[in-house]
Structure 1
Amino acid sequence: MYSTLNADIRPGAGLGIFEIGDSLWTILDKLRANNHMFPQVDVKYDPDSSVTTPIIVHVRPHLDLLFSGKGQRLHTISVRQLRDPNPPVTLQYNGNVISSTEQVLRRVLVSRTFGPTYPGDDLRYPGLWFSFEDDSITEGIARGGQVPDREQEVKRVFISQKGNDGKGEDALDEVKEGAAMEGDVSRAIVKRHDGIVLNFFGSAKQFLVRLGETTAQDLTLDLGPPSKVHFKEDERMTIHSSKKQGETKEDTGYFYNYFQHGIDFLISDTTHIVKKVVLHTNIPGAPLFQRYKRCCWEIEGMPEDDEDGEGPVVISPPLRVLTLCLDTPPRKRFYDRFETISHFLSPHGTPPSMLLDRADEEDDLTLPSSPTRLYGYDGIILEVTESSQVVCVILF
């Protein structure tokens, strides 16, 4: 017996439990929590550039959810197969049913409910449009001047941000900042040998996490309690330690896992001070996909010359003095290719790498490209996929 999918349409804002601007991590978590309603979910992505290209989540048989490539934010909701009874779908607007197994959604009902709109093959309103074509997420096929039939049956309903309703917009466009993003980390600026600066949507405040200074209590006060506290048990990397056998055992520590921010903090178990930070990119197909929300990190470098730094450019007399407001120190971002970031961190060559296969830790886990490589730099380690995408940044 199938449950009815009963969802209210909110133009420009969402559909049912889905909010425009929600993260991919949040939506997949909602689908998992409601697997009795959504038993079959497929995630489609480009394996060669999944860090920058849109992702589509098919919730069979009725929903297609399109996420922006870089921000991994819900961009467009498509409802299709409105008449498919397995499971039945009911759409409401302002408390009134406009589509169900008994109520066919037709052009005339759309016009009566939402009012007049500009002429075209589809009926378009701010943040909402109705298509009369089957399985088409783009513009409807031209009808050669055919007069619209008031009894035409709506085949697909689309919800997106107002001003981003598929006309003159690109699916690659990022979602504008909205209520669903408030409180999320908008970007994390990585400063080698120092720490990270966290910026948040809906707030001008910043939170600086300093290696060797910020305490576990500081994290709790500014970020709230962690999603999980994990005590470090994996000691395999100690074989590479410079400490000699018999010397005092290293302070192993424990992790504060903030899955909702895509960040882990390793904390000393003696001083309770942050000693390492891990920032996750949440790349589809990688072993850690969906464990963490995407963290939009940026690695900050030091200016190599005046053109890269902050400050004035002065042209000596007799020419007039010209002062330019230049960019902040150069940065490389989570969506840059590994080769670009590696040259940024080490201009004189790529360091040797270690092979890591996280699938080895799970007997039943099989992935097409599970092995990654670890590259160590001064104060930073990068975990990289075979397609040169950076899975995570480790700052120590």
Structure 2
Amino acid sequence: MSSLFSAQLHPGRALGFLVLGASLHDVLTRLKAEPQRFPKLDLMYTPTDPVKQPVILGLPANGIRMRFDGPEQRLRLIEVTDFTKNHIFLKPANDKERDLVRPTTEDVPPADATPGPTFRHIYQRFLGPTYDGEYLPSAEMYVLSYPGVAFTFAMKKKEYSPSKDVVSLLHSTAIPTSMAVFSGDSWVKARGTMWTETLPSVKTFAPLAKGKDTSPDEVSLVRIHGGGKLQLFRKWTNNSFWIMLNETTPQQLVAELGPPDAIYRKSDQRMYIHKLRATSNTMAGPSGNDLKRPDDLTDTDQSSHPASDEYDSNDEAVEDDIAANISGECFYNYFYLGFDVLISTPNTTPGPPPSGEVNPDTPKPPFSSTTADRLVATKVILHGNVPGSYPFNRHRRCRWEISYLSSSNDSDAANSETPFTEMEEKLRKAWQFIYPSEAEAQQKQRGMVLNRGWGDSPGSSCELLGGWEESGGTNPGVGKGRGEDSTTTLYGFPGLVFEVLKNGWVSAVTVF
């Protein structure tokens, strides 16, 4: 039997450690770390549109349900659906703690126990008086709203009258069917902006803020400019910084992003034949055919994941590795930022298409690589964390856009929320100048089908995609049947490789 979930209510901000604005990856990682307390996790999403429609995470054993927006995967709404499975309390400043429902430690609740708080308790003792609420006739529900908190009561249409006040409408013993925690002055006002409002940083939430936490703000968007130039924007600020492939050093990455969550060094030789061909092409200088050959670009997710779900390295080990100036190819894994960076010796970077807009703010690298063996960032893998995909919940969702394909018109954007069929059309148009004919373009840009779940095929290669089966790890999906879509297709374009799911959404994009 799971232990009772005890949480302090922070109206408009949080319920215990569940903070509005937290990422789906962060919340899932925290919940999965306590299986006895949270024995069952139910993830619900729209299979045909998992990156735009809300994602729902249920805790049936704890009577909690959470809703995240699709594009950013941020926690937007927390609901209490069963008051008997948790202990919620309020602790006003300079006042004693108030229980929403008096908790019981008995397996069988006492005879006088109620399935939830009464209207009188909420209105008189827990939160106090408030304005009249909103009646929803289609659902036959009355919503009693406070700033950041709302309670839903069942009410028949014949019982409701707009001329009555809230105290006259609700009996003193009426028990709500649910409670919601949201950002806003009232439920009526919050509904219109709930899924798009910019929520404050979780780091500013004082009860959970750590005095020693000096990690930088998360990356909210990666803008791909072509030619190996990536602009990373900070959330809640106007600041950005650049990763210049084949120029940015590991020291510069650590200075901007902090130490990686893990460093992965495994070398898998099963895609070595592609490496040889790519190397020979690079030495000869890039031509149109070299740029457009998709099977030369497929070894882009090399070692992008550690060999097991629970990686061994801790902060001290990571810092020691960085201080020692490690030699050899490796990946810097930034799970909580949503991307991985390949550190290796410099190579050739395909330039942007002639029609691509040149950003005048692109900085010049502080210094250029003077030796061929200098270690620099050569590839970046941006992860979509798409629900239902094989690597779901390994990384936080990273949003991106391709600047030379996008315009000021939002409907013409080319980003992480664009179906790949539309993205592919834009890319083919941008790069059509390197193909003699449309037929050859289609032939060169055909996809390569991969399966992550096969133990003895390139699809399971950590060199290519990262596989858990080689280390005895388990699929990180939530619940049975989650994260089992292991077959994906790779599509290559100059400087880009897209990993596309069966439903047509991009699971990851590699920039090189």
- TM-score of the pair, normalised by structure 1: 0.83
Determine whether 1:267 maps to 2:343: yes
Deviation at 1:21, TM superposition (A): 0.5
1:296 maps to what in 2? 399
Query: Contact 1:70–1:174 (CA<8 Å) still a contact in 2?
Result: no
Cα 1:21–1:262, aligned 2, differ >3 Å: closer, same or farther? same
Mapped partners of 1:190, 1:57: distance in 2: 31
1:266-285 mapped onto 2 (5 Å cutoff): 266-268=342-344, 270-285=373-388
Q: Which residue pairs with 2:27 in the alignment?
A: 27
- Give the distance between the partners of 2:222 and 2:380, measured in 1 at CA: 11
User: Of residues 356, 359, 363 in structure 1, which corresponds to 2:450?
Assistant: 356
1:91 counterpart = 2:92: no
Question: For residues 95-144 of structure 1, what are the alpha-carbon distances to aligned partners after superposition, in whole Å with 9 as ceiling and x for unaligned?
Answer: 211213457511112112332222442210121101124xxxxxx76454
Q: 1:185 aligns with which of 204, 212, 219?
A: 219
* 2: CA distance, partners of 1:119 / 1:25: 34
User: Is the CA contact 2:262–2:334 (under 8 Å) kept in the aligned structure 1?
Assistant: yes
Contact 2:183–2:190 (Cα < 8 Å) also in 1: no
Cα distance, 1:110–1:164 mapped onto 2, change above 3 Å:
closer
Distance in structure 2 (CA, Å) of the matches to 1:254 and 1:93? 48
Quick one: distance in 1 between partners of 2:156 and 2:330? 58
Shift in alpha-carbon separation, 1:256–1:96, aligned structure 2, 3 A: same
Please tell me whether residue 122 in structure 1 is matched to residue 152 in structure 2. Answer: no
RMSD of the alignment, in Å? Answer: 2.8
Contact kept in structure 1, 2:9 and 2:88, CA below 8 Å: no
Look up the match of 2:485: 369
Contact preservation (8 Å) 2:226, 2:495: yes
Structure 1 match to 2:356 = none
Structure 2: which amino acid aligns with 1:345?
A: L
Q: Indicate how the Cα distance of structure 1 residues 58 and 170 shifts in structure 2: closer, same or farther if over 3 A, else same.
A: farther
1:258 pairs with 2:334: yes
Q: What is the percent sequence identity of the aligned residues?
A: 26
**What is the distance in 2 between the residues matched to 1:254 and 1:272?**
10
Q: SS of the residue aligned with 1:346? A: helix
1:386 lines up with 2:502 in the alignment: yes
Q: CA deviation at 1:164?
A: 7.1
Shift in Å at residue 232 of structure 1? 4.2
1:145: which partner in 2? 160
Are 2:55 and 1:52 equivalent residues in the alignment? no
Equivalents in 1 of 2:31, 2:185: separation in Å?
27
1:65 equivalenced with 2:159 (yes/no): no
**How far apart are the structure 2 equivalents of 1:168 and 1:258?**
33
Q: Distance in 2 between matches of 1:252 and 1:335?
A: 35
Give the structure 2 partner of residue 165 of structure 1: 187
Question: Judging changes above 3 Å, is the alpha-carbon distance between structure 1 residues 2 and 341 closer, same or farther for their aligned structure 2 residues?
Answer: closer
Gaps of 5+ in 2: 104-112, 135-141, 162-168, 205-216, 284-298, 300-326, 346-372, 433-440, 455-459, 461-467, 476-480
Deviation by residue 1:311-332 (Cα, 9 ceiling, x = unmatched): xxxxxxxxxxxxxxx779x741
Q: Which 4+ runs in 1 deviate beyond 6 A?
A: none
Between structures 1 and 2, the one with greater strand share: 1
State the match for 1:337 in structure 2: 419
Aligned residue for 1:332, secondary structure, equals: coil
Task: Find the residue that maps to 1:70 and give its secondary structure.
Answer: coil
CA distance in structure 2 between the partners assigned to 1:24 and 1:342 by the alignment: 28
Q: What SS does the aligned partner of 1:83 have? A: helix
Q: Post-superposition shift, 1:368? A: 4.5
SS in 1 for 2:385: coil
Q: What SS does the aligned partner of 2:28 have?
A: helix
Q: Deviations over 1:15-50 (max 9, x none)?
A: 011000000001001101222211111111111110
Q: Distance in 2 between matches of 1:225 and 1:15?
A: 30
2:178 pairs, out of 156, 178, 193, with 156
* 1:248-296 alpha-carbon deviations (Å, 9 max, x no partner): xx99711001001101100116412011111011101111110000001
Check conservation: 1:126, 1:162, Cα contact below 8 A: yes
Structure 1 34/141 Cα, relative in aligned 2: closer, same or farther at 3 Å? farther
**8 Å CA contact retained: 2:13, 2:19:** yes
Larger helix proportion of the pair: 2
The answer on 1:234 being equivalent to 2:233 is no
- Aligned positions, number: 362
How far apart are residue 8 of structure 1 and its match? 1.0
2:271 match: secondary structure: helix
Structure 2-normalised TM-score? 0.65
Distance 1:382 1:63, change over 3 A: same
Relative to structure 1, the CA distance from residue 264 to residue 341 in structure 2 (aligned partners, 3 Å threshold; closer, same or farther) is same
